[in-house]
Structures are given as structure tokens and as C-alpha cells.
Amino acid sequence: MSRPHISLKEYKSLLPFLSRYKNQYIFGIICLIIVDAAQIAIPQFIRVAVDLIADGAFQWRKIIILCLWMIGIMALVSAGRFMWRYFINGSSRRIEAELRENLFNHLQKMSWDFYQKYKIGDLMARSINDLHAVRMSIGMGVVALFDFFFMATAILIIIFIQDASSAIYSIIPLPLVTLLILFFGSMVGKKFRTVQETYSKVSDNAQETFAGVRVIKSFVKEWWFIKKFSDSNDDFRKANMELVRLFGFFFPFVQFLSGLTILIMLAIGGVRVINDQMTPGSLVAMFRYLSMLIWPLMGAGFMVNMIQRGAVSLGRINEIFNTPPSIKDSDNPSSAEPDDAIPALELVDLKFSYNAAESSDESSKDSHSDSALDGINLKIKRGQWLGIMGRTGSGKTTLIKTFTRMLDPPRGAVRVFGLDIHDWSLEDLRKLFAVSPQDSYLFSDSIANNISYGLETNDTPSEGQTMNVVDKAVIFAALEKDMLSFQQGKDTLVGERGLTLSGGQKQRTAIARAAVMESEFLILDDSFSAVDNETERKILETLRKERKGRTTIIISHRVSTLKYADKIFVLDKGKMSEYGTPEELVAQDGFYSRMAAFQRLEPQTERQNG
């Protein structure tokens, strides 16, 4: 796979931020220039002091005055350094924080297909490691840039003014430093991209391993994941060592060339002092200036390094920002009030293909040979209970995801209260639906907070009201006995992804979270698969009482679950194969009838075997 070209044009995306903080950067650069000017002035005081001492008839008063001047200048340098760090580094930190927040907000808008392409570990690496590199480039990178141009230029001008004959020989090694910096810059960007990409793999391997630790342990596959992580970690080490070798050559060689300038000055300047063509103070000042010249030259290397790293990282971040969500909000969103006279939910020749959704090729969109859903027509009245059954992979979960535009159906295919779902704002549409998903995902928080997560956030209730709602939801989802077995009750931490709860407890917590929303539509996607029949019956009967006048959709393979539905339709290979009341479907010789007969036989078989 070809890699994107590393370009400094990536920094254009930072112009709005830099413009907003331009005053801080200007003040910081002014403070930086003052610090550099003050540092450059110090050797001149040293020159005067050395010449006074060399004359042999100096007065202590003059030396003390010079020392006091130097102390004052060094105090100015200290204050100036604080100020430029506050303004420049502070601004870079603020920009980093804003970028991270913008990136997180952008990721919240992305659709399902985006997360099929980008792994979580990679996104975490871009949100942390790459943003750190960007911050360094617009912080210390700016400092190194101005230090290099201002300080190096000023020092070269001063040493030429002070003694051009010595200076012209001293700077002979400097063109080599310039060539080295250019070579160094061209190499750093390529190697740093490799470092960031391998870091993303390490991060992704770690995230995947920790998320699936229970599965790993149950299959005794720790050794395999240890090896997988070790291999990616070793690749990361090797990529970093490539950079280390580059730095290991560059910085010592720059110091060597800088040392040559001092050696040349010692030879040329020493002769000129002996011949009375230069004062001892001037020679000492020249030594000091040449020593100070090492930092701008080293800083040039740091500057190139940080700017190249920043460009690479910014390119990786801009790649995310430049990826638009495949499911976009309506330009002119509308809404519709619930009305018993019109269908709450209507499907009109609904077709959906994952391949077509991932492709922009119109020809692929016209092909339905691989459709996950194909030609579904259905009207659901407000307050109706709808059951959905079908074989694994028949399209049940895909179907309910089109209702909330988690997957985007064709325009006109899905209508809520008579209005096409594409005309709703995504927020208003999704607020109508409370979903207990198939995977029963829980956050690493308390049971109470996981349940109250479903409450309306724009009008946050008081803590007491929240607890009342949570207590009601606990009873609603038949969790009250489970709460007694937990030492901290509702405040028990569930661990990442509900690690500390059983499958049934996770499912019932997810049901409680959906129930507290009191939404127009409640969707239970195979939410009773880990729940016993008695508990399931209790929950469904409570649902019947609490959700009168509102629509409930239940997906299940259990006939005992779907017997509460007013209507049931059966999906087969993305098409509706059966539709009717439970009694009507049992009377037919179809999939539902066979499943009902099979599930009636199961208890009898178990009793006979027992």
C-alpha cells in the first residue's frame, strides 16, 4: 500500500487556530527575541571584564558594576523564558486540547462503515500520540525556528563585526551543518510515519486483547496474544531505533562541527592576540559566541525533526477530519407529532445492501443479488407490539438499524409518523427509539449510572429523581434480587463491557437502560436470550402495562417471547416470508409454526431424558 506524501501543506488546517492565538504567539516571540538578545549581550560584558583584567590596572568597582549588569540581564533572561513558554507552549497546549476535542466530536458523528475501516487502537494513537507531535511542532518547533534564524544570524553578524578575519575561517564547517540539516529533515518524516503506524498497531493489539480477555482465557490463548503483542512491540522498537540511529549520527556530528569552529578560532584568534591584532577579551567573547552558536545549529535539527513529525501526525489526523460521515443530517430537518391515525412506522419496498452502502458506484447500488434486505413492506400502528423472527443472518438486526439510520436505507423506504426518516434530524429521530441491542454493551461504571444513561440529558433530573427512576427500572427489569446479592447494590461497578455481570444481568441492565427513556419506540433485539422464561414473562408483562399506547418491537428466536406480540413477521434471506398474528402463523406450515412445535417438544424431551 502506498503511503501518503509528507507535505508541510498539512499545517494549513491549523491556520484558524494559529490565527485565534496569534497575539499570544506574537507576545511569545517578542519575549523569545528579548531573551536571545539578552543572551547575546552577555559575552560583550565578559569581553570588557577580561580586557580590564588583562590590562592589570583594573578597578574592582568597574568589575562589580559589570557583574551586576550581567546578573540583571540573566534575571531578564529567566523572566523572558517564563513568558515565552507561557505564551507559546501554553497556546500549543490549548490548540492540542481543542484539536483533541474536535477530533472526538468528529468521531462521534462517524457512521458504522468508518469503524469498519479504522480500528480503535489506531484512533487512540492518533488522538494521543499524533496530537502530541503536532503540539510539539507548534510549540517548541516555533521556538527552535526563531532561535535558529534570529540567534544564528545575530551571532554571525557580531563575530564578523568584531573580527572578520578570524570569523571567516571559523565558520568554514557551517555549510556542512546546513547540508546535514537538509538531509536529516528528508529522512525524519519517512521514519517517523513508520513509528506512528507501528505504534497504532501496538495500541490496537493491546486494546483488542484487553477487551477480549475473557475469551482469551477461556481458550487458553494467552501465549498467542502475548506473541502477537510482542511482534508488534518489536516492530515499534525497530522503527524507533531507526530514528535513534539517525539522531545518534546527527547531533554528535553537529557538535563535532561546532567544536571545529572553536578549534579554528583558538588557532587563528590565538595568533592574532599574540600579534596584538585582537584583545584577549574579544577572543573570549568569540569563544562564547561560537559556543552559543551550537544551540541554534542543534535547534535547527530539532526544528526540522519536530516540524516533520508534526506534518506526518497532522496528515494522519487530517485524514480523519477529511473523512465525512456517510450518514448525514438533513439540511432542513422536520419532525412529526405522534398520531394514532397514521402508521407509527412504515416500510415501503425497503431494500438494503452492505456492499452498496460501502460503494459510491451507482451500478452496485442497483444490484440487489446480495441484499441484506429486499422489498420489505410493512405498516406498524402506534401502540402495536411487533415480533420479528428469522434464521441467523436473515437481516433482523440490519432491519432495525435502518429505523434509526444507523444504517442508511434508500429515501422513501422508511417513514416514522408519515415523515421520511431522511427528513428528520438524526437527534430527534433517534430520541424516538430506545434500543436494547443484541450485544448488551455496558460502560465501565456503576449499574445505576448505566441505567440512568438513558435519561434525557437536556433536562437532567435531580439526583433523587434519578434514583427513583433507576429503582423503578431495576424492578421493571427484574433486577431487584440481583441488587441484593451485590455488596454495593446499584452502585456496584460492572467493569469494562459489563465484565463482572452474567449474561442475563447484562441483558436486563440494558433493558432497564432502554426502558427509562420512555420513548415512542422500544426495540428489544434478542434481549432475552440469556434470561430464564419466568423472568422473561415477568418483564414482558410489566412492559405490557407500562407501554400502553407506545410501540414495541421484539426480535427473538423464542416463541414464548413473541406470543405477546400483536403481529409477527418472519424474515428469510432479507425478505418477509410470513406475517400475521401468533395464532395465524402457528396454523400455517411455515418457519414460525415449525419453531413453535420444536420448542414445545424441547421440555418434553428434557423430561424424558431426565
489 secondary structure, DSSP code = G
What is the CATH classification number for the domain harbouring 289?
A: 1.20.1560.10
Q: Which residue has the higher pLDDT, 217 or 324?
A: 324
**DSSP helix, strand, coil percent of the chain (3-state; round to 5):** 65, 10, 25
Convert the pLDDT of each residue in 540-598 to its tens digit: 998 888 888 899 999 998 888 898 899 999 999 889 999 999 999 998 888 999 988 88
> Three-state DSSP class for 378?
strand
| One domain for residues 97 and 234 | yes
- For the question of whether the overall pTM of this predicted structure is more than 0.85, the answer is no
What would the grid cell of residue 515 be?
A: 426502558
Give the confidence band of 462 by pLDDT, cuts at 50, 70, 90. low
Looking at mean pLDDT, say which of 177-181, 422-426, 477-481 comes out highest.
422-426
Would you say 192 and 308 are in contact if contact means Cβ atoms under 8 Å apart? yes
Q: How far apart are the first and last CA of the chain?
A: 60
Q: What is the pLDDT of residue 369?
A: 47
Q: How far apart are CA 30 and CA 436, in angstroms?
A: 58
Q: What mean pLDDT comes out for the span 496-525?
A: 86
Q: How far apart are CA 514 and CA 404, in angstroms?
A: 14
Q: What is the pLDDT of residue 362?
A: 40
| One domain for residues 316 and 444 | no
Q: Is residue 479 part of a domain?
A: yes
Q: Is residue 262 part of a domain?
A: yes
What would the grid cell of residue 377 be?
A: 413492506
Q: Is residue 192 part of a domain?
A: yes
Would you say 536 and 563 are in contact if contact means Cβ atoms under 8 Å apart? no
- Count CB atoms within 10 A of the CB of residue 312: 29
Q: What is the pLDDT of residue 441?
A: 83
Q: What is the pLDDT of residue 33?
A: 92
Task: Choose one of 321, 345, 362: the last residue of a domain.
Answer: 321
Q: Is residue 576 part of a domain?
A: no
Q: How far apart are CA 80 and CA 66, in angstroms?
A: 21
| One domain for residues 307 and 447 | no
Amino acid at 427: E
Would you say 24 and 89 are in contact if contact means Cβ atoms under 8 Å apart? no
Q: What residues contact 327, with CB distance under 8 A and at least 6 apart?
A: 111, 405, 406, 408, 426
Task: Choose one of 498, 518, 538: the last residue of a domain.
Answer: 518
Q: What mean pLDDT comes out for the span 450-475?
A: 71
Convert the pLDDT of each residue in 225-282 to its tens digit: 888 889 989 998 988 888 888 878 877 887 787 778 888 888 888 888 888 888 888 8
Would you say 281 and 200 are in contact if contact means Cβ atoms under 8 Å apart? no
Q: Is residue 51 part of a domain?
A: no
Q: What is the pLDDT of residue 359?
A: 53
Q: What residues contact 505, with CB distance under 8 A and at least 6 apart?
A: 479, 482, 498
| One domain for residues 315 and 441 | no
Q: How far apart are CA 24 and CA 19, in angstroms?
A: 10
What would the grid cell of residue 252 be?
A: 554528535
Q: What is the pLDDT of residue 457?
A: 52
| One domain for residues 122 and 266 | yes
Q: How far apart are CA 565 and CA 383, in angstroms?
A: 11
Q: Is residue 500 part of a domain?
A: yes
Give the confidence band of 409 by pLDDT, cuts at 50, 70, 90. very high
Q: What is the pLDDT of residue 286?
A: 86
Alpha carbon of 38 to those of 29, 35, 48: distances in Å? 14, 5, 16
Q: How far apart are CA 365 and CA 358, in angstroms?
A: 10
Q: How far apart are CA 209 and CA 223, in angstroms?
A: 12
Q: What is the pLDDT of residue 138?
A: 92
Convert the pLDDT of each residue in 32-51 to its tens digit: 999 999 999 988 888 888 88
Which backbone phi and psi does 609 adopt, to 5 degrees?
-70, -35
| One domain for residues 157 and 297 | yes
Chain mean position to CA 339: 41
Give the confidence band of 447 by pLDDT, cuts at 50, 70, 90. confident
Q: Is residue 236 part of a domain?
A: yes
Convert the pLDDT of each residue in 376-391 to its tens digit: 999 999 999 999 999 9
Q: Is residue 462 part of a domain?
A: yes
How many domains does one find in the chain?
Answer: 2
Q: Which residue has the higher pLDDT, 251 or 408?
A: 408
Task: Choose one of 500, 518, 536: the last residue of a domain.
Answer: 518
Q: What residues contact 434, with CB distance under 8 A and at least 6 apart?
A: 454, 514, 515, 517, 518, 519, 521, 522, 523
Convert the pLDDT of each residue in 128-138 to its tens digit: 888 988 999 99
8 secondary structure, DSSP code = G
Average pLDDT, the chain: 84
Task: Identify the domain containing residue 446 by its residue range.
Answer: 437-518
User: Quick one: which of 78, 71, 72 has its CA closest to 31?
Assistant: 78
Q: What is the pLDDT of residue 382?
A: 93
